[in-house]
Structure 1
Amino acid sequence: MLYWILLLISIVAVYLIVNPLITMIRLKIKFGNAVYCKYLPIFGIIQVYRKSFKLTGNVHQWIVDIVIKHPEVKFVVANSINKPIIVIIDSEYYKHIYQDHHLVTKHDQSGIKDFLLSGGLLFTEGPKWKQQRNLLGDHFLFQKLKARIPMINLVTKEKINEMANVEKVFEFICSITGEVVIRSFFGEEAEGWKINGKEAQIELGSILASFIKLRVTNFFVYFKQKLLGVKSWQYCTKKEKEIMDRVIKLKKDIIEVIFKRRDKIKQQGHKQEGGDFLDLYLKIFMEQNVYSSDRIETDEIVSQFITLFLAGTDTTGALVANSLLLISENKQYLQELRNEVKNVIGNGDITSENINQLVFIESFLKEVLRLKPSVVYPIARKAKSNIQIKDLYIKKGTILLLGNFLANISTQNYDNPLEFNPRRWLQQKTIKQDNGFINIPFAAGPRNCIGQHMAMIEARIILAHIVRNYDIIRNSQVPKAQWPARGTQTYLPDNAVHLVKI
């Protein structure tokens, strides 16, 4: 009996070790030096990220080093336990995934999708995704978004007036961006909203970070989720149970706000114009046919809010926080930014008429997105079936990471790509040979980021108010800025900058 048990264990171990190696060997034979293999038995890419952060303070430095040292590399192949992972670096290959998004499905085994995001725009597919995109699309055009500019000014000034000095910069920025999303989605019903004793926007981001941190730091949880997927939450550890309790409380609070607005609409009717996203959803929700195949459910509204919230809070927050870090390390740009703010808006607010005159601020933000993108990889994809992209054959079930952020540090695409130089975006030709998929911080194709214009409007307004009101000081207690991440998505400077009121 012991013999058969040992034999079974040996077979499983061999499968776990050999399966991803087969893909690596096949690609290496075909592409030679254009493929770089990063293999760790069993532990795989999660350990690569952990080691990279421990050694360099940047979870993604390992693959940045590969691209810098080996500019000929088109694909990096790693493993996630027994599954091969292909990081596609060459834009001529990953552009096909962006254009033909039906070839893949978004891949998540952490539980974030299933518990928080499954009904939102980020993860839905087919007719439901089209319905949501059509419903929200017009409201993210500049002509509609410009009506929110006064509110963004107001929220930013309110937060600045509350804080003479700021030490937790990322949290401070997220308190602004999160409040903007809350007011855009929920309106006055959610003003001052707190969850578990914290500002709602801070608690939401904290829940996301807790999901990821537990998965990255606890190998038992990581392997359990990998093997069982969402079913792994049926066998919760104490830490997982704590996170789940916070998720339940969060969703309960969101539903209460939704029902509060529903009851108000029943009494007063819908707003005729200028309504928020909740009003938009509830109008359809309350008027739809109960037997409709594309009806909207309460859970979908909850998921859509969390999706827009997480997409609009952390990513825009990271962009502004990263900008402040780079200003503190490149102080020659601070006065130039201040001068532009003074010349364009003086002591007033940013408006829809003058926002596009903040040319240098926009260039500065573009350069930050190039070198320190808020979204590093888009959400991992998994091939729905066998795929042929040019001369690259991808087997069904293979996990794909679209490494478009790596194209932004390639000498093939930019002169002096590692140099921080905002003025490169004021030149007529910034990218050497652009196929339209080199600089895509908000992704590309039909499923690009619906909120990209909102993000850039917010970032310009927030950064303008901050440089006008604060000195931006590098924290001497943190000699080297660390760049951890929430999953593979968001860079977060770790308390490296302080803001002091002028």
Structure 2
Amino acid sequence: MLNWILLLISVVAVYLLVNPLVTMMKLKMQFGNAVYCKYFPIFGIIQVYRKSFKLTGNVHQWIMDIVAKHPEVKFVVANSINKPVIFIIDPEYYKQIYLDHHLVTKHDQSGIKDFLLSGGLLFTEGPKWKQQRNLVGDHFLFQKLKARIPMINQVVKEKINGMPVAEKMFEFICTITGEVVIRSFFGVEAEGWKINGKEAQIELGSIFAAFIKLRVTNFFVYFKQKILGVKSWQYCTKKEKEIMDRVTKIKQDIREVIFKRRDKIKQQGNYQGSGDFLDVYLKIFMEQNVYSSDRIETDEIVSQFITLFLAGTDTTGALVANSLLFISENKQYLQELRNEVNNVIGNGEITPENINQLVFVESFLKEVMRLKPSVVYPIARKAKQNLQIKDLHIKEGTILLLGNFLANLNSQNYDNPLEFNPRRWLQQQPIKQDNGFINIPFAAGGRNCIGQHMAMIEARIILAYLIRNYDIVRNPQVPKVQWPSRGTQTYIPDNAVHLVKI
């Protein structure tokens, strides 16, 4: 009996070790130097990220170095325990997946989707996704977003007036971006909203970070989630239970805000007409047929808020925070940025009429996104079926990461790609040969980022006000900037920059 058990263990161990190697060898034989393999037995890609952060302070530096040193590489192949993971770097290959997004499904084994985001726009599929996209899509068009510019001005000024010195720079900016999302979704009902004694936007971001940190630092939790998926949360560790309690509290608070607005509508007999997203959802929610197959439930509204919140808070916050870091390290651009802001808005506010005159501010933001994008990879995809993309065969179930940010580091696409040069975006042709999928910080195709115009409007306004009101000071106690992340998604600079009122 013991021999059979040992044999079974040996077979499983060999399978775990060999299965991803088979895929690597096949691709290496077919593509030669255009494939780079990164194999780490059992632990796989999670250990590659951990090792990269330990050695360089950047969880993604390992793959950035590969692209910088080997511009001919089209794919990087790693393993996630026993499964191959293909990083698609060549724009001609990942272009097809963006265009035919129905061929893949978004892949998440951490539990974040199921507990926070499952009913939101980010993870829904098919008719439900189309319904949600159509429902909120018009409200993210520039013509509609212009109406939010006065509110964004107001939020930024309120936060700046109460903050003479900002040492926790990223957190400070997220209080701004989070407040903008909250007011856009909930309106006046959620002003000053606090959860567990913290500003709601800080607590929500903290929970998301805790999910990821636990998974990356605790191998037991990582393997449990990999093997059992969402069912792993039925066997919670103490720390997982603490996170779940915080999630439950947040969902309860969001429902209370929704019900408060619903009751007000019932009492007043009409909608507020404020244009916030809660009005949009409640109008359908309260008028829909109870037997409708595409009816909207309360949990869907909760998921949609959390989705829009996480998509609009950390990402825009990281873009502005990264921009301040680049300014602190390239002070020659500060006065040029400040001069443009003063010439365009003086002591006044940013308006729908003058925001597009902040040309250099926008170029600066675009260059920051090129080198340090807020979203490093889109959410991992899994092939629904066997796929053939050009000469690449992808087996059903293969995990895919679309490395479009890496195309921005490739010398085949840019002159001096590792040089920070915001003026390149003032040139007529900054990209050498553009197929339309090289510089896509907001993804592309039918499932591109619905909030991209909102993000750029908000980032320009926040950065302009910060430049006008603060000195941007490099923190001497942080000689080397580290780039931890919330998953593979968002770069968050360490406490490297302080803001000091002028």
Q: TM-score, normalised by structure 2?
A: 1.00
Aligned to 1:368: 368
Query: What displacement does 1:4 show?
Result: 1.0
Secondary structure of the residue that 1:77 maps to in structure 2? strand
Aligned to 2:416: 416
Aligned to 2:339: 339
Contact 2:318 2:490 in 1 (8 A): yes
Q: Map Cα deviations across residues 218-251 of structure 1 (whole Å, 9 max, x no partner).
A: 0000000000000000000000000000000010
Residue pairs, 1:207-222, within 5 angstroms: 207-222=207-222
Query: What displacement does 1:94 show?
Result: 0.2
* CA distance in 2 between partners of 1:298 and 1:217 (Å): 34
* CA distance in 2 between partners of 1:266 and 1:153 (Å): 32
Query: What displacement does 1:273 show?
Result: 3.8
The reply on whether 1:199 has 2:199 as its aligned counterpart is: yes
Q: Map Cα deviations across residues 84-128 of structure 1 (whole Å, 9 max, x no partner).
A: 000000000001110000000000000000000000000000000
How many residues get paired?
502
* CA distance in 1 between partners of 2:272 and 2:434 (Å): 44
* CA distance in 2 between partners of 1:417 and 1:480 (Å): 22
Secondary structure of the residue that 1:204 maps to in structure 2? helix
- The residue type equivalent to 2:18 in the other structure is V
Q: Map Cα deviations across residues 259-306 of structure 1 (whole Å, 9 max, x no partner).
A: 000001111234364420001000000000000000000010000000
- The residue type equivalent to 1:141 in the other structure is L
Query: What displacement does 1:312 show?
Result: 0.2
Contact 1:270 1:283 in 2 (8 A): no
- The residue type equivalent to 2:443 in the other structure is A
* CA distance in 1 between partners of 2:482 and 2:151 (Å): 33
Aligned to 1:395: 395
Aligned to 1:44: 44
Q: Map Cα deviations across residues 15-58 of structure 1 (whole Å, 9 max, x no partner).
A: 11111111101100000000000000100000000000000000
* CA distance in 1 between partners of 2:478 and 2:272 (Å): 51
Q: Which runs of 5+ in 1 are unaligned?
A: none
* CA distance in 1 between partners of 2:274 and 2:420 (Å): 40
* CA distance in 2 between partners of 1:415 and 1:269 (Å): 61
Query: What displacement does 1:204 show?
Result: 0.3
Q: Map Cα deviations across residues 424-473 of structure 1 (whole Å, 9 max, x no partner).
A: 00000100000000000000000000000000000000000000000000
* CA distance in 2 between partners of 1:483 and 1:160 (Å): 26
Aligned to 2:377: 377
Aligned to 1:69: 69
Contact 1:370 1:405 in 2 (8 A): yes
- The residue type equivalent to 1:306 in the other structure is I
- The residue type equivalent to 2:89 in the other structure is I
Q: Map Cα deviations across residues 180-200 of structure 1 (whole Å, 9 max, x no partner).
A: 000000011000000111000
- The residue type equivalent to 2:478 in the other structure is V
Contact 1:118 1:303 in 2 (8 A): yes
The reply on whether 1:21 has 2:21 as its aligned counterpart is: yes
- The residue type equivalent to 1:358 in the other structure is L
Q: Single out whichever of 475-484 and 269-278 deviates more from structure 2.
A: 269-278
The reply on whether 1:96 has 2:96 as its aligned counterpart is: yes
- The residue type equivalent to 1:11 in the other structure is V
* CA distance in 2 between partners of 1:156 and 1:2 (Å): 68
Contact 2:75 2:87 in 1 (8 A): yes
* CA distance in 1 between partners of 2:269 and 2:420 (Å): 52
Aligned to 2:181: 181
Aligned to 2:454: 454
The reply on whether 1:225 has 2:225 as its aligned counterpart is: yes
Contact 2:194 2:200 in 1 (8 A): yes
- The residue type equivalent to 1:214 in the other structure is L
* CA distance in 2 between partners of 1:302 and 1:7 (Å): 49
Aligned to 1:320: 320
Aligned to 2:475: 475
The reply on whether 1:8 has 2:8 as its aligned counterpart is: yes
* CA distance in 2 between partners of 1:271 and 1:146 (Å): 22
Aligned to 2:54: 54
Contact 2:189 2:261 in 1 (8 A): yes
What is the identity percentage for the equivalent residue pairs of Structure 1 and Structure 2? 88
Secondary structure of the residue that 1:186 maps to in structure 2? helix
Aligned to 2:234: 234
Secondary structure of the residue that 2:411 maps to in structure 1? coil
- The residue type equivalent to 1:43 in the other structure is F
The reply on whether 1:115 has 2:118 as its aligned counterpart is: no
* CA distance in 1 between partners of 2:11 and 2:270 (Å): 63
Residue pairs, 1:77-96, within 5 angstroms: 77-96=77-96
* CA distance in 2 between partners of 1:104 and 1:13 (Å): 29
* CA distance in 1 between partners of 2:286 and 2:188 (Å): 20
Q: Map Cα deviations across residues 118-151 of structure 1 (whole Å, 9 max, x no partner).
A: 0000000000000000000100001100000000
Secondary structure of the residue that 1:382 maps to in structure 2? strand
* CA distance in 1 between partners of 2:238 and 2:231 (Å): 16
- The residue type equivalent to 1:377 in the other structure is Y
The reply on whether 1:489 has 2:489 as its aligned counterpart is: yes
Query: What displacement does 1:396 show?
Result: 0.4
Secondary structure of the residue that 1:377 maps to in structure 2? coil
Contact 2:379 2:401 in 1 (8 A): yes
Q: TM-score, normalised by structure 1?
A: 1.00
Deviant stretches of 4+, over 4 Å: none
The reply on whether 1:306 has 2:312 as its aligned counterpart is: no
* CA distance in 2 between partners of 1:454 and 1:224 (Å): 38
